[in-house]
Amino acid sequence: MRALRTSVGFPSHGDVYVLYPIADFKIEGRRFCNAGPIPDFNPAIGDELMIFCYDQPNDTTGQFLPTREQQLIFERGGKLYASKPLRSDPELLRTTGLSEIERRAKAGRDDRSLR
């Protein structure tokens, strides 16, 4: 984990967990599938994830970040995946990946600190 910005009560390193509701499994030959909040996307090992978290962790380990799907942007193979309304945001559509979003966030923070 790389924290772009953090404050007291938020993790600054290590693993964090977020809820991403999706299911695809079989019971006695019957398939149960619940599509996730991002069409045609299921998170996989190796995906990159940017989390915009506003509420402090609410578990005893301090690692579970209470987020909504609108606060998550995934990247896989250079392509970004986000839920509504982010996936139709013109600024997001013009970005080349999470590293560009990270650069912009850091630049915006640095610009504000100069004022």
Give domain limits for the chain.
Answer: 23-113
Per-residue pLDDT tens digits of the chain, which is 115 residues long: 777 777 888 888 889 999 988 888 899 999 888 778 888 888 999 999 999 889 999 899 999 999 998 999 999 998 999 988 888 888 888 888 999 988 888 887 665 544 4
Question: Is the pTM for the entire model greater than 0.75?
Answer: yes
| 3-state SS assignment for residue 31 | strand
pLDDT recorded at residue 110: 60
Paired residues of 17 in beta bridges: 64
Q: For 30-60, give one letter per residue: b (16+ CB within 10 A) or e.
A: eeeeeebebeebebeeeeebbeebeeebeee
Give residue 105's Cα distance to chain centre: 15
In contact, 58 and 65? CB cutoff 8 Å: no
Q: What is the pLDDT of residue 18?
A: 93
